[in-house]
Amino acid sequence: MSLSASPTPVLATRELVKRFPGVTALGGVSFELLPGEVHALCGENGAGKSTLIKLLSGIHPFGSYEGSLFAAGREVRFSSTRDAEAAGIAVIYQELALVPEMTVAENLCLGHAPLRHGLIDWDRVYADAARVLEMAKIALDPTAEVRKLGVAERQLVEIAKALSKNPKVLILDEPTAALSEDEVRRLLDVVRDLRARGIAAIYISHKFDEVFRIADRITVLRDGKSITTLETKNTTADEVIRHMVGRPITELFPRRASTPGEVLLSVSGLSVSETRAQAPRLREVSFEVRAGEVLGIGGLMGAGRTELLLHLFGAWGWRIAGKVKLAEISLDSPTPHRALAAGLALVSEDRKRYGLFLESAIGFNLSLSSLSRLARRGLLDEDAEVARSRALFDSLRVKAPGLETTVRTLSGGNQQKIVIGKALMTEPKVLLLDEPTRGIDVGAKLEVYELVNRLCSEGKAIVLVSSELPELIGMSDRIVMLSEGKIGGTFSRAEATQERLLSAALGRTGAPQKQAELS
């Protein structure tokens, strides 16, 4: 019963704290990875999983965080990813880092090709590759070109690449996000096989069935803190979800109930693929939004939330089937230009990429979507333009010297107000808000919420996409959860709990409570 009875963890963290300007990404994470175990990390979007991995892999170097990291019982201070690799930590990221034009073998020895008389020793390149693949029991041809491989096979090449460095710890970040069921099985087999050979793994996934199939233990992260570590065989998905959600929703969200009016946006049977002749990314999505109503749309990363909004707005996808009507106008082949003219406006999630002209003045940004209404006989009516921009600038309480201030110099919250202001100047009937409070401080968030209330009371309909469940529940009158492009569930404000929403997002039919009643 002494402490020495438990084996020394291959990797451990103690009270890790990582702060970014304005945000605390990690607020105390302690967990231990034991030799030869597969340890799953679970948490909502933004719970701190990615930040934790970046600390473990040396991307955020020692000195940029508080707390300690231990490898094989000793404290380690990584100053770069190279140090982490030297300590035996290999990471396989969501975005694959392979060169598609090269063969499997070339990718495996990228950066450290064996040389002979100063030239690449191709015989050894292929022999080494074959040996690594053989060792990992990965059935791949070393001479195959990577671009001809499927996503799962590329994932395996990544694993082989990581293994060629003889790691003690393998970190897999959402490895199955793009894999089919069959491919998932293949990947899990490889991970199991590695575990049998003593390589410990940290496995990050939103998919509970995989987590329960592969993990020995599960650590739950929430709001940047490690909440608990559970033995997989002694727990259930519902318990994990409960820990992931945790807190009760406080009255941070000033949503005022309003009486919905006529239907302003109706979507029926919408199926959309990225381009023609591809598999649909959105499948038979239907919903309605009424005047004075906020419809929340949630879902995990990749569930199709942003794609849905972009498609309604005419900026993404190929419509396979379905009808979209805005008030009485059909939006069959929308472009952003037509959508705006019909009374639909979008505030994009990525404001720097899709929203702002950073080097231009606030006034330029605010009026850009409304110029055709501000022109008289082809010339801009600059008096009217300035008057309208000034009115929005004041009512949104933008903190800046004036309309001529360059947008780049503004804070995130004020930049977001400019993007929203640009949409509002078009006087939309329906406003699509994609993550409108991402990356802005609490005060600015509250202002956005109050603005949503005001717009609703003015009879506009609002579609709010958010990956923060409390925000979704707090600000929406109704909530649609998307799960892999389909509607996983629709909830009224009264029905919505974080557990139910998360279950719907994970594609688990019905709320956990209901299942309990049935069984």
Total of chain residues touching other proteins, rule CB under 8 A: 37
Residue 169 CB, shortest distance to other proteins, in Å, is: 39
Query: In the complex with other proteins, which residue's Cβ is closer, 56 or 396?
Result: 396
What are residue 2's phi and psi, to 5 degrees?
-75, 165
Query: In the complex with other proteins, which residue's Cβ is closer, 121 or 381?
Result: 381
Q: Pick the piece of the chain touching other proteins (CB under 8 A) from 97-105, 378-386, 408-416, 443-451.
A: 378-386
Q: Three-state DSSP class for 238? A: helix
User: Exactly one of 165, 380, 399, 408 binds other proteins (CB under 8 A); which one?
Assistant: 380
Query: In the complex with other proteins, which residue's Cβ is closer, 176 or 415?
Result: 415
User: Exactly one of 404, 427, 441, 495 binds other proteins (CB under 8 A); which one?
Assistant: 404
Q: Three-state DSSP class for 152? A: helix
User: Exactly one of 95, 383, 458, 517 binds other proteins (CB under 8 A); which one?
Assistant: 383
Query: In the complex with other proteins, which residue's Cβ is closer, 216 or 274?
Result: 274
Residue 336 CB, shortest distance to other proteins, in Å, is: 5
**Single-letter amino acid, residue 163:** L
* Structure-token pair, residue 27: 């607020």
User: Exactly one of 21, 63, 111, 378 binds other proteins (CB under 8 A); which one?
Assistant: 378
Residue 406 CB, shortest distance to other proteins, in Å, is: 12
Question: Could you say whether residue 428 binds other proteins (CB under 8 A)?
Answer: no
Half-sphere exposure of 507 (CA within 13 A, CB side): 11
Question: Could you say whether residue 369 binds other proteins (CB under 8 A)?
Answer: yes
Inter-residue contact 208 to 218 (CB < 8 Å): no
User: Exactly one of 79, 330, 360, 395 binds other proteins (CB under 8 A); which one?
Assistant: 360
d(CA 230, CA 509): 24
Residue 344 CB, shortest distance to other proteins, in Å, is: 10
Distances (CA, A) of 162 to 23, 178, 320, 368, 431: 32, 19, 40, 48, 46
Residue 392 CB, shortest distance to other proteins, in Å, is: 14
**Max CA distance (Å), the chain:** 88
Write the CB contacts of 485 (distance below 8 Å, at least 6 apart in sequence). 280, 281, 282, 283, 285, 303, 304
User: Exactly one of 103, 155, 416, 426 binds other proteins (CB under 8 A); which one?
Assistant: 426
Question: Could you say whether residue 393 binds other proteins (CB under 8 A)?
Answer: no
Residue 338 CB, shortest distance to other proteins, in Å, is: 8
Residue 242 CB, shortest distance to other proteins, in Å, is: 39
Q: Pick the piece of the chain touching other proteins (CB under 8 A) from 109-117, 185-193, 353-361, 449-457.
A: 353-361
**Single-letter amino acid, residue 408:** R
Question: Could you say whether residue 397 binds other proteins (CB under 8 A)?
Answer: no
Question: Could you say whether residue 418 binds other proteins (CB under 8 A)?
Answer: no
d(CA 487, CA 131): 46
Residue 362 CB, shortest distance to other proteins, in Å, is: 12
* Structure-token pair, residue 79: 């100053």
Question: Could you say whether residue 386 binds other proteins (CB under 8 A)?
Answer: yes
Q: Which alpha helices (H) appear in 110-180, and where do they start and end?
A: 122-135, 151-163
Q: Burial level of 235, CB count in 10 A (0-12/13-18/19+)?
A: middle
Question: Could you say whether residue 398 binds other proteins (CB under 8 A)?
Answer: no
User: Exactly one of 162, 270, 339, 506 binds other proteins (CB under 8 A); which one?
Assistant: 339
User: Exactly one of 35, 67, 357, 391 binds other proteins (CB under 8 A); which one?
Assistant: 357
d(CA 34, CA 275): 45
Q: Burial level of 28, CB count in 10 A (0-12/13-18/19+)?
A: middle
Residue 404 CB, shortest distance to other proteins, in Å, is: 6
d(CA 235, CA 232): 5
Q: Pick the piece of the chain touching other proteins (CB under 8 A) from 164-172, 212-220, 322-330, 336-344.
A: 336-344
* Structure-token pair, residue 497: 């709990």
Question: Could you say whether residue 491 binds other proteins (CB under 8 A)?
Answer: no
Q: How many residues does the chain have?
A: 519
Question: Could you say whether residue 421 binds other proteins (CB under 8 A)?
Answer: no
Q: Rule CB under 8 A: which of 292-321 touch other proteins?
A: 313, 315
Q: Three-state DSSP class for 157? A: helix
Residue 126 CB, shortest distance to other proteins, in Å, is: 38
Q: Exposed e or buried b for every residue in 182-215, given b needs 16+ CB within 10 A?
A: ebbebbbebbeebbeeebbbbbbbbbbebbbebb
Question: Could you say whether residue 409 binds other proteins (CB under 8 A)?
Answer: no
Binding site for other proteins (CB under 8 A): 313, 315, 336-337, 339-341, 346, 348, 353-360, 364, 367-369, 371-372, 374-375, 378-380, 382-383, 386, 390, 402-404, 422, 426
